[in-house]
Structure formats: C-alpha cells, structure tokens
Chains A and B, each alone.
Chain A
Amino acid sequence: MNNTRLHQITQQGRLLWQRSVETARLMVGVGDYERYREHMLSHHPDVAPMSEAEYFRHCQQSRYPGKDGNIKRCPC
C-alpha cells in the first residue's frame, strides 16, 4: 500500500471518529464549540464569544425544559 492511500485511510478514520464524538455529544445536547466560535468570529466580530465552559453551561441549561415547557426529548 502506498503512502497516499494509507494517509487517506487514516484521514477517513479520523473523520469517522470526530463525527462519532460529535454525535455522542449532541445526543446529550452539547453542540460543537469550535463551530460556534468560528460562527461568532466571522459573523459577530464585535461580540466576544462565550468561553468553552460558558458554552457548555449554556448547552446544559437550554437542553432541559424551559419557560414554555417545551419537551425536547420523548419521555416515553
């Protein structure tokens, strides 16, 4: 097997792993911080983005029933 092929496979493996981690985190309501930060930097450069810890707390807070009593997960 040549080097580029091997490189491709490890690349794909890494992508698969990243996606799996992203999926598992989103399953419990924690989104992708890097994407959020990039979005804030590119679209709202004048606003300081939340830190990673703040972002995590925000995700936790908004996952569970809030003001309008919305149900985000099937309780049954």
Chain B
Amino acid sequence: MMSVLLWTGVAAIGALAFAMLALANGETVNALWLVVAAVSTYAITYRFYARFIATRVMELNDRRLTPAERHNDGLDYVPTHKWVLFGHHFAAIAGAGPLVGPVLAAQMGYLPGTLWILVGVVIAGAVQDAMILFASTRRDGRSLGEMMRLEMGNTAGLIGMLGILAIVVILLAVLGMVVVKALVGSPWGVFTLLATVPIAILMGVYSRWWRPGKVGEVSVIGFVLLMLALWYGSVVAQDPQWGQWLDLKGETLAIGLIIYGFIAAVLPVWLLLAPRDYLSTFLKIGTIIALAIGIVLVAPPLKMQAVTRFIDGSGPVFAGSLFPFLFITIACGAVSGFHALVSSGTTPKMLERESHIRTIGYGAMLMESFVAIMALIAACVLEPGVYFALNSSPAVIGKTVEEAAQVISSWGFVVTPEMLSQMARDVGEASILSRTGGAPTFAVGMAKILADMIGGQAMMAFWYHFAILFEALFILTTLDAGTRVCRFLIQDLLGTAVPSLGNTQSWGANILATALAVSAWGWFLYQGVTDPFGGINSLWALFGIANQMLAGMALLLATVILVRMKKMRYVWVTAVPACWILIVTLTAGWQKVFSPDPKIGFLSHAEKFAAAIERQEVLAPARSLQQMQQVVFNDRVDAVMALFFIGVVLAMLVYAVRAIIQAHRHPGSTVSESVVVWRAEQAWREEAVWHE
C-alpha cells in the first residue's frame, strides 16, 4: 500500500515536471524541472521496467553460479561487491560522447533532446547494456564479437569486427577534432594540455619504481601538479612571447595530435597511458559530481527555447531535420553501441550474482543518461545567441563579433557584439566564435554554473579551462587506447595474409600497424580540420550513424538470443528498439549519401562543387580551386564510409533474420549458454561444456 502511494507520487511529480518543460510557452523554465523529470523517469523505469526485464525476460537466478564464481582466479574472474562493480562499470561506459552529442542537439531546443535522452535510454540504451551483460554472463564472459560468431555464424562475426574497426577510426578522428577545435587560438588550453604529458610521465615513473600500486597517492600528486599547471597557464597565455608561440592554428594542432598519437601508442602503457588514465578517470567522476551539485544548488534557468525553429533541418550546428538526425546526434547519452563491448568485457567476469545485472547493466546506463542531461542543461543555460555563436562555422556567421551578432540576431536569437566579446573575456579567451565540437560550449556552460557556486565571475576563466582540460585529457587517453585497439585489429587482419605481421611482439609489425592506425584516423582528422565547413558537421553525423549502428547490431544479437531461448513473448523488448535504431541509422545514412540537398547529402554536395570547378568558379567558403577539389574528394570518401556502414548493418540484419528463422523453426531451445552450475551443488568445473 505504501509502495503504491510512493510510486504514484513519483509519477505525479515526474508528470508535473514534464508539463512544466513542455508547456513553458515562451517563459523561462528552471533547469531543476529537467532534473526532476529525468530522475523520476529513471526511478520509475528502474523499479518497474528493469525489474520486469530481470525477472521475466532474463529470469535471473541467484542460485546459478556466475563466471566470476566458477572461474575465480583472483585476477580476471573475481566476484566483486555489487556497488564496487557498479562504479567500475560506470567509469568504463562514461566517456566524452554524452558531453558532446546533447550539446549539438540543443540547437533544436531542450525538449527534443531531453525526450530522446530519456525515452532512448529506457527502451534502448539501458536494455542493450543489460541484455549484453546478461548474454555475456551466461557465456563465461565472452566478448561481443565472439558471441556474434557463436549465435549468428563466423561471417557475421567478421563483418562485425570490420565494422568496429571502421567505427573506432571515425570516432578517434571526431574526438581529435573536438580537441583541436577547443584549443585553436587558446594558448592557455594548449599549455595545460602539454603540461599533462610530463606530469603523467612523472606519475608513471613514480608508480613503476618508487611506489608501485599506490594509485591514490600518485593521483593526488598528479592532480595537484595539474591544478598548478592550469593556474600557471593563465600566466603563460599572458606572456607576449610564449602566448604567441602557443597560439596555434587548427592544422598545426591536428598534425601535433597525430604525431603525439603515434608516439603515445608505441610507448609502454605504464609510462604515459595508465597514469593519464588515472587523472582522466578521477577528474571525470569528480567533474560529474561537481556539476550535479552545481546544478542543484544554483538552479539555473534554461535560456534556450523548448523547441527552436531549427527542427526543420535548417540549423547551423548540424544539418538535417529532427527525424532522423536528432537521434544520430545525441548518440551516447541515449544509446551507445560501444557499451555492448564494455558489457561483454571485464564486468561479466566480476559479477557476483546474476541479479546484479539489473543494477549494473540497466542502472549504470541510467546514470550515463543523466550525464547527458547535465550536458544538455550546460548548453541550454547559455544565452541562445552565445550558444549559436559558439557552435556555428565561420562560413555561416562570419569571423567578427559584429557579423556574428547580426546573423544570429536575424535568426531571432537576439545577441549583441558586446555580449560575445564579454563572454570571451570572461572565459579568458581571445574569441568564442565558431568553437564547434561541443566541448567549448559544455565548458562555458559548466563554468557559468560552477562560477555561480564557487568564486563568481573571477573564477569563470579558471572553470572554463578546467572543463576544457578535463575533456581534452580524457580524449587524449582515448586516442592512445583507441589507436592500440586499431593496431591489434589491424595486426589480426594482416596476420591472416602475412603471419609475421600478426606477431604482436615484433617491433617492426607493431610500428607498421600503429602507423596504419594513426594515418587512418589522422587522415579523417586532418580532412575535418581543413574542411571549410568546420568538419564536425560531416564527421559527427558519420560517427553517430556508426555508433548507433553498432547498438543496432548488439540489439539484433540480443533478439536472436531471446528467440533461441524460446522467449517469443518477450522478443519485443529488444526487437522494438532494434527496429527503431535500424530505421534511424538507415534513413540517416541514406540521406547523408543521397539527399539532393547539398547541405545534407555528401554526393550532391560533391556534385555542386564539382560543377563549380568545371566552371572555374570558387564557391565560398573555399578559397581556391585546389580547396574545392579537396572538398569534392572528402565528400566522396565520406559517402563511401556511410555506404560501408549501411552495408555492414544490412548484412548483420540478414544474418540475424536467418538465425531467428532457424531458431524459431527448431522445436526446442537452441541457446548456446555455458553449462549451468547451481549454487547448492557446489559443483566445480574448470571448463564449461558448450551445447548447441
């Protein structure tokens, strides 16, 4: 009885919050309403839907021993306390993605983004994470690729791996671009990011030889040094000589990042990657907590409209209308394909009880979604005029504050040149115009919220550069680790042709594969940075399509598994989100390639520029015929990538449907779970026996 009252109350409060958000009618709404709407949605779905999935769909059983118990080796397979593992899993799925996507999506207003982040996570994102964690737990902690091979055949597994390689390449390029865009003309930011390298190396040496295993100690030392570097960065930026020397162009930063990526990926992990990983992980968790506290204490009003006119697809931040591009753009905060890789990685090998899947698989993703909501809030507490100045390319708003203010005001978002220069001064930068890529917008929003809480206006520049540092640091860690992922995948592929190249111990093969990996993402990065249209425009869409496509593949796998378990009654739990994501990604992919609107379609854009080249005419913002040719070539490569992704997802669909039909015709269950060992029996088997 109490519980009925309680949940009715939660539902009522949630409904009220949604009403406040949706029926704002031109008045500003407080960001807390958004928080309330989100939290009540999470509470209700976790209580009811996640429980339904855990008890009915998965039929979790705590009497069944988990891989961690059966294979306990004290190293990889270790039964771990529920909340400790929750922390581990959340840290593993939380990345830079949910901070970027929602910021870009804010151009359509706060409402469309909020709705998809909440609906998406409840029906797709959290379901995917939990289902894959469940599937992997029942299969001795096998990886996504292995499970695809196991359930849908070898070819499907291979196609899946190729798809993952291509996605990682695009992802690294787009993340590299986020860093480049945030650091162009920002000596302060460049200095602090450069300072992280010697700090990390010092930490690495410290924990290798002086005090191995003292993670807390070395992290505190690193953090203090990092804050000193951050403070000293403002001094360096003021210095006439150093300031000028660190005032870099996009091209220089891109090349620097590519060289850095190569060197970092061939160094031993303990020297640079691991210690920087400590800093970025703890800084990320700390920042998320600080931002959550800041939003609740400051309770900032949302300046952005609920729904802007740009839902028709004419927006300056990304091209394309609400369907399908909003869903592609938000990506990670609602559903992220990469989580399927994480959920079939270390977490299933440490699960203490099956019932923990509900908290760790479903619950951690709800938390990730809340991070996306906070990023959306950070973008929407800015004056819309400032938001559009930050996120539109110079091709649209020009290069001076006067031009920008005029163009943006003509869209109906009133802003003055003074406001734009004042904001730049506040955050300690020369200009805030066209700082695309999401990170600077998030940083300005966060700086605004945190400065309201601690330090006021005087601290705003510090908080801005803190946020930039935190994102850039995180992304550098990812570039390093991601390059290594590509390297091993490439060595795997090369090894099938020339066995000596597959030897991961060989320095020659190692360097060759790393060079190939770096040049792959480096090419897309450089192309994006030199793109007169800003690059984020085309690359983020490609990444979004790829990432959502991976999620579609994971949900298809989950659907195949449910059919094989003969759980036809509950197939909709994964089949509905899988279908929706396939519709979204295929439509978006198709439009990106074939749309006749040159703002959206890669091919029609290439066509337009090729036709102009024929006429010896230079179209703005390109400045030479050579640049024009570059645009045409890039467009065609992007189109090929998009087609490749479409091909991969269609192939996976065919294999999934085939597996579903086969399993459906079979009279009994055809699931390939590892053998069941019940807790009471205390039976102990070293190796699982597989039955088809």
Report A's interface with B, CB cutoff 8 A: 19, 21-33, 35-40, 43, 52-53, 55-58, 60-76
Q: Are B213 and A33 in contact (CB under 8 A)?
A: yes
Q: Which of A29, A43, A68 contacts B492 (CB 8 A)?
A: A68
Q: Which of B371-409 contact A (CB under 8 A)?
A: none
Q: Judge whether B72 is part of the interface by a CB distance below 8 angstroms.
A: yes
Most chain B CB inside 10 Å of its own CB: which residue of A31, A52, A69: A69
Bound Cα distance A70, B344 (Å):
10
Contact of A73 among B95, B171, B175, B486 (CB under 8 A): B95
CB distance from A46 to the nearest CB of B (A): 15
Q: Hey, which chain A residues are within 8 Å of B338, CB to CB?
A: 71, 74-76
Instruction: From known contacts A58-B75, A63-B274, infer whether A72 and B84 are also in contact, taking CB-CB under 8 Å.
Output: no
Bound form: Cα–Cα A72–B81 in Å: 19
Q: A31-B75, A67-B504, A74-B97 are in contact. Are A56 and B281 (CB under 8 A)?
A: no
Task: Determine the chain A residues whose CB is within 8 A of the CB of B84 once the complex forms.
Answer: 19, 22-23, 26
Contact A68–B269 (Cβ < 8 Å): no
Q: Can you list 8 A-B pairs with a CB-CB distance of less than 8 A? A: A26-B87, A28-B215, A62-B75, A64-B269, A69-B489, A72-B345, A74-B97, A76-B331
Kindly list the 4 A-B residue pairs having the minimum CB-CB distance in the complex, ordered from nearest: A39-B74, A76-B97, A69-B488, A23-B87
Contact of B538 with A by CB under 8 A: no
CA distance A29 to B277 in the complex (A): 10
CB distance from A23 to the nearest CB of B (A): 4
B175 x A75 contact (CB < 8 A): yes
Task: Give A73 to B339 CA distance when docked, in angstroms.
Answer: 8
Q: State whether A40 touches B74 (Cβ < 8 A).
A: yes
Distance in angstroms from B262 CB to nearest chain A CB is 15
Stretch in contact with the other chain, from B50-58, B477-485, B527-535: B477-485
**Cα A26 to Cα B92 with chains together (Å):** 10
CB-CB under 8 A from B83, the residues of chain A are 19, 23
**Which of B73, B81, B171, B278 contacts A76, CB < 8 Å?**
B171
The residue on A at minimum CB distance from B346 is A72
A73, B301: Cα distance in complex, Å: 34
Which of chain B's residues have a CB closer than 8 A to the CB of A66? 488
B94's partner among A62, A63, A74 (CB-CB below 8 A) is A74
Which residues from B are CB-within-8-Å of A28? 91, 215, 274, 277-278, 281-282
Complex interface residues of chain B between 264 and 316 (CB less than 8 A to chain A)? 269-270, 273-274, 277-278, 281-282, 285
| Distance between B283 CB and nearest chain A CB, rounded to angstroms | 12
B306-342 vs A, CB cutoff 8 Å, 1 = contact: the mask equals: 0000000000000000000000000110001011011
Contacts of A57 in B (CB 8 A): 208, 212, 270
A23 in complex: contacting residue of B88, B168, B213, CB < 8 Å: B88
What residue in chain A is nearest B87 (Cβ atoms)? A23
Task: Name which of B75, B97, B285 has the most chain A CB atoms within 10 A of its CB.
Answer: B75
User: Which residues of A have CB within 8 Å of B561?
Assistant: none
Minimum Cβ distance to chain B for residue A32 (Å): 8
CB nearest neighbor in B for A41: B74
Q: Which B residues lie within 8 Å of A56 (CB)?
A: 207, 212-213
Within 8 Å CB of B207, what residues of A? 56
Interface residues of B in 465-522 (CB under 8 A from A): 478, 481-482, 484-489, 492, 504
Asked if B269 contacts A53 (CB within 8 A), the reply is no
Measured CB to CB, the nearest residue on chain A to B483 is: A65
Contact A72 B478, beta carbon cutoff 8 Å:
no
A-facing mask of B77-101, CB < 8 A → 1, else 0? 0101101110110011111110000
- Judge whether B591 is part of the interface by a CB distance below 8 angstroms: no
- Pairwise interchain contact B336-A60, C-beta atoms closer than 8 A: no
Q: Quick one: closest B residue to A36, CB to CB?
A: B74
Query: Which chain A positions have C-beta within 8 A of B26?
Result: none
Residues of B58-84 at the interface with A, using a CB-CB cut-off of 8 Å, are 72-76, 78, 80-81, 83-84
Cβ contact within 8 Å between A76 and B74: no
In the assembled complex, the Cα of A38 lies from the Cα of B72 at a distance in Å of 12
Q: Which of B87, B92, B175, B487 contacts A72 (CB 8 A)?
A: B92
Contact for A65 among B97, B270, B485, CB less than 8 A: B485
Complex Cα distance, B346 from A76, in Å, reads 18
B143 touching A70, Cβ below 8 Å? yes
Complex CA distance for A36 and B79, rounded to whole angstroms: 11
In angstroms, Cα B277 to Cα A3, docked, is: 43
| Bound: A30/B481 CA distance, A | 17
Interface residues of B in 123-176 (CB under 8 A from A): 143, 145, 164, 168, 171-172, 175
- Docked CA distance A76–B208 (Å): 28
Q: Which of B81, B270, B547 contacts A19 (CB 8 A)?
A: B81
B216 at the A/B interface (Cβ < 8 Å)? yes
Whether B339 pairs with A74 at a CB distance below 8 angstroms is yes
Among A37, A38, A57, which residue has the most Cβ atoms of chain B within 10 A? A57
Max chain A CB contacts within 10 Å: which of B80, B274, B342?
A: B274
Which residues of B are found within 8 Å of A60, using beta-carbon distances? Answer: 269-270, 274
Residues in chain B near residue A22, CB distance under 8 A: 81, 84
Mark out the residues of chain B between 325 and 367 whose CB falls within 8 Å of any chain A CB in the assembled complex. Answer: 331-332, 336, 338-339, 341-342, 345-346
The answer to whether A75 and B482 touch across the interface, beta carbons within 8 angstroms, is yes
Q: Decide if B91 touches A27 in the complex (CB within 8 Å).
A: yes
Bound Cα distance from A58 to B74, whole angstroms: 12
For residue A69, which residues in chain B have a CB less than 8 angstroms away from its CB? 485-489, 492
Q: Which residues 429-486 in B have Cβ within 8 Å of A in the complex? A: 478, 481-482, 484-486
Residues in A whose Cβ lies below 8 Å from that of B489: 69
Complex Cα–Cα for A40 and B93 (A): 31
* CB–CB B269/A61 < 8 A: yes
Q: Which residues of A contact B212 (CB under 8 A)?
A: 52-53, 56-57
A74 to B547, CA, bound (A): 11
Give min CB distance, B651 to chain A, whole Å. 20
User: What is the chain B residue whose CB lies nearest that of A71?
Assistant: B341
Known interface pairs A63-B274, A76-B97; A71-B345 also in contact (CB < 8 Å): yes
